[in-house]
């Protein structure tokens, strides 16, 4: 299914907090026109427009990247870049997890590939944006519209494997402990947690990269986030209830010097930075002219010198309570 089809089916207003899989069914049954005709007072828009990009509209969720067609394409490309970089979709030593939770599932591509690799496992992906496919889903795949910051709506020890990738822009600094303890609560003893995160700042580079890093940090600060903390989560993950936590630091090359992965990563990462423009303007972090100047400098630097995005992976095994 291509992304255009995918997002067309979700570009409607649905009730906040509703289970998306059920919303999909009711949309199909009652028809788009009826859904659109519902009283606006009873319906809370799930998207908002910001400087020509579509964003989630979940209150209290600081995540700043858009959720429109362009972002759906970027997320899928990001998925392929990460899969190529690691050579696989997971690093935790899972074998036959009965139940898997993917937090911040994005387009759902990771989950659907995993569902094909583990046909006997049941996968649930949650996200505040319903940008996952709504038809032709593998029977072992389900997506739900859930704000992870409100707690995970699953019973204790439900999952054998909890996975979260590239969600740091959505976690306020003071909510990491709460989120990790929710990861631990829903993971069964002996089950696995895998997190893959980044602080989104370019490593190395010149004045353009430094200026952009400053703007990203200011944007995150305005939204109470500090993605740099993702580099040091080991003790918090252990305190939440996971043992033998391993941390792996990996550098994603950005630019043609990094071969095919670098060339594709350049597009994926530059598009993410460019997608932060609207939120940066909204928060008064920089003006359009300042951002134009920064991006022009950065693009020149990307040609002249190696630059990376630093990724960090954590793998931990749930201890017995």
Ligand X SMILES: C[S@@+](CC[C@H](N)C(=O)[O-])C[C@H]1O[C@@H](n2cnc3c(N)ncnc32)[C@H](O)[C@@H]1O
Q: Which two tokens stand for residue 26?
A: 């009711």
DSSP 169: G
Q: Which range in 26-34, 93-101, 124-132, 306-314 contacts ligand X by CB under 6 A?
A: 124-132
Q: Any contact of residue 3 with ligand X (CB under 6 A)?
A: no
Which of 97, 106, 202, 316 forms a contact with ligand X (CB under 6 A)?
106
Q: Which range in 20-28, 122-130, 153-161, 205-213 contacts ligand X by CB under 6 A?
A: 122-130
Q: Which range in 2-10, 105-113, 207-215, 223-231 contacts ligand X by CB under 6 A?
A: 105-113
Q: Any contact of residue 149 with ligand X (CB under 6 A)?
A: yes
Contact (CB, 8 A) for 270 and 301: no
Q: Any contact of residue 220 with ligand X (CB under 6 A)?
A: no
The 45-74 contact track toward ligand X, x by CB under 6 A, reads -----------x----x-x-x---------
**HSE-up of residue 31 (Cα within 13 Å, Cβ side):** 3
φ and ψ at 276, to 5 degrees?
-80, -5
Q: Which two tokens stand for residue 38?
A: 């519902």
**Could you tell me the smallest distance in angstroms from the CB atom of residue 149 to ligand X?**
5
How many CB atoms within 10 Å of residue 242? 24
Helix (H, G, I), strand (E, B) or coil at 166: coil
Compute the chain's Rg from CA coordinates.
19
What DSSP assignment string belongs to 245-257? Answer: EEEEEEEEEESGG
Number of residues forming the site for ligand X (CB under 6 A) = 22
Residue keyed to tokens 């859904």: 35
Task: Compare residues 71 and 160 and give the one whose CB is closer to ligand X.
Answer: 71
Task: Compare residues 149 and 285 and give the one whose CB is closer to ligand X.
Answer: 149
Q: Any contact of residue 27 with ligand X (CB under 6 A)?
A: no
Which of 147, 211, 213, 230 forms a contact with ligand X (CB under 6 A)?
147
**Could you tell me the smallest distance in angstroms from the CB atom of residue 69 to ligand X?**
14
- Nearest CA among 104, 105, 111 for reference residue 141: 111
The interface with ligand X within residues 158-187 (CB under 6 A) comprises: 165-167, 170
Q: Helix count (H) and strand count (E) of the chain?
A: 11, 9
φ and ψ at 177, to 5 degrees?
-60, -45
- Nearest CA among 293, 279, 301, 316 for reference residue 62: 279
Which of 24, 115, 127, 188 forms a contact with ligand X (CB under 6 A)?
127
Q: Any contact of residue 242 with ligand X (CB under 6 A)?
A: no
**Would you tell me which residues interact with ligand X (CB under 6 A)?**
56, 61, 63, 65, 75, 78-79, 104-106, 110, 126-129, 147-149, 165-167, 170
């Amino acid at each position: 299914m291509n992304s255009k089809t995918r997002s067309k089916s979700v570009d409607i207003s649905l009730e906040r907090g509703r289970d998306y899989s059920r919303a999909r069914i009711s949309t199909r049954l009652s028809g788009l026109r009826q859904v659109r005709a519902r009283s606006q007072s009873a319906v809370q828009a799930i998207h908002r427009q910001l400087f020509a990009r579509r964003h989630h509209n979940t209150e209290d969720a600081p995540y700043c990247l858009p959720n429109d067609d362009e972002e759906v394409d970027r997320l899928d490309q990001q998925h392929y870049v990460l899969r190529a970089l690691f050579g696989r979709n997971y690093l935790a030593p899972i074998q036959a997890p009965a139940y898997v939770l993917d937090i911040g599932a994005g387009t759902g591509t990771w989950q659907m590939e995993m569902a094909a690799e583990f046909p006997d496992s049941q996968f649930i992906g949650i996200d505040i944006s319903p940008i996952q496919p709504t038809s032709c889903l593998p029977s072992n795949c389900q997506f739900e519209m859930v704000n992870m910051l409100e707690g995970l709506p699953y019973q204790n020890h439900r999952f054998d494997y909890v996975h979260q990738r590239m969600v740091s822009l959505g976690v306020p600094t003071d909510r990491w402990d709460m989120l990790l303890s929710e990861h631990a609560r829903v993971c069964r003893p002996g089950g696995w947690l895998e997190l893959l995160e980044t602080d989104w700042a370019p490593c190395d580079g010149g004045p353009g990269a430094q200026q952009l890093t400053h703007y990203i940090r200011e944007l995150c600060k305005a939204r109470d986030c500090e993605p740099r903390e993702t580099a040091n989560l080991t003790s918090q993950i252990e305190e939440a209830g996971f043992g033998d936590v391993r941390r792996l630091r990996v550098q994603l090359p950005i630019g043609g010097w990094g071969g095919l992965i670098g060339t594709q990563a350049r597009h994926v990462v530059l598009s993410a930075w460019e997608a932060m423009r609207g939120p940066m303007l909204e928060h008064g972090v920089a003006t359009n002219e300042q951002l134009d100047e920064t991006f022009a400098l950065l693009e020149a630097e990307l040609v002249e010198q190696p630059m990376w995005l630093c990724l960090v992976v954590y793998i931990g095994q749930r201890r017995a309570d």
